[in-house]
């Protein structure tokens, strides 16, 4: 799979990618699946608890912006059709996560990160570079990203107020999807990334999450 030569993106590919980027960052996201926890009652929370939940869901929304950008960038430069299909499927499900977190942020009276356009551009560039490295490394990047996202979501489940069952239901469903993406990537032949690459990914994720919590 990784022995195939890179396929330079066509002008049409670039136009489509640009359009997807604009819609991801600026247009309301749509979900084919119902928002998890939508039928649960809105629990009574203090103002402080609501602010915490809104901040955590803003971080999750920004993470989904980055994931969407990563996978679109990777799919743009992927060499193999099966790898590209796996990336595009992951991107479609990340769009649903975008819709879920966006709706919950609005319900909590919060706002999305002001830096989302910058997060998208940086993540898209990283994804495109990963695609040029070959499909095994491309999928390895996807698998490691998802493993780290699962760990991140588990941390949020510990921080979210126990009363906020609606946010918790969303995060639980997101965690299940991300774990499935990692398994899918491994099944398509993902390479195990070297530890320095994993550490660099953890560091960049920490910068994003801590910044998006406030801005």
Ranked by mean pLDDT, the top range of 9-13, 69-73, 119-123, 162-166 is: 162-166
Model pLDDT, residue 6 = 52
**What does the domain layout of the chain look like in residue ranges?**
11-24+45-214
CATH topology of domain 11-24+45-214: Ferritin (1.20.1260)
Tokens 């649903």 belong to which residue? 96
pTM value is: 0.85
Q: CA-to-CA distance for 57 and 160, rounded, in angstroms?
A: 9
Q: Mark out the alpha helices in the chain (DSSP H runs).
A: 11-26, 47-77, 81-107, 116-132, 135-159, 165-187, 195-214
Ranked by mean pLDDT, the top range of 15-29, 71-85, 134-148 is: 134-148
- End-to-end Cα separation, the chain, in angstroms: 41
Express each pLDDT in 158-194 by its tens digit: 999 999 999 999 999 999 988 887 887 777 778 888 8
Q: CA-to-CA distance for 33 and 23, rounded, in angstroms?
A: 19
Comparing 89 with 69, the larger pLDDT belongs to 69
CA nearest neighbour of 70 among 7, 8, 149:
149
Model pLDDT, residue 1 = 45
Residues in the chain: 215
């Amino acid at each position: 799979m990784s022995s195939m030569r890179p396929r330079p993106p066509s002008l049409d590919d670039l136009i489509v990618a640009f359009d997807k980027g604009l819609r991801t960052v600026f247009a309301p996201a749509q979900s084919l699946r119902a928002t998890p926890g939508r039928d649960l009652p809105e629990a009574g929370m203090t103002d402080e608890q609501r602010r915490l939940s809104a901040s955590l869901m803003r971080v999750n929304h920004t993470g989904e912006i980055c994931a969407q950008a990563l996978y679109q960038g990777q799919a743009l430069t992927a060499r193999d059709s099966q790898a590209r299909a796996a990336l595009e499927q992951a991107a479609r499900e990340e769009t649903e996560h975008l819709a879920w977190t966006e709706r919950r942020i609005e319900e909590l009276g919060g706002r999305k990160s002001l830096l989302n356009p910058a997060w998208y551009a940086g993540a898209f560039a990283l994804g495109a570079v990963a695609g040029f490295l070959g499909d095994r490394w491309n999928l390895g990047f996807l698998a490691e990203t998802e493993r780290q996202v699962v760990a991140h979501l588990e941390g949020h489940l510990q921080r979210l107020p126990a009363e906020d069952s609606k946010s918790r239901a969303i995060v639980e469903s997101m965690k299940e999807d991300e774990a499935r993406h990692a398994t899918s990537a491994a099944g398509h032949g993902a390479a195990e990334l070297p530890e320095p690459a994993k550490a660099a990914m953890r560091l960049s994720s920490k910068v994003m999450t801590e910044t998006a919590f406030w801005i």
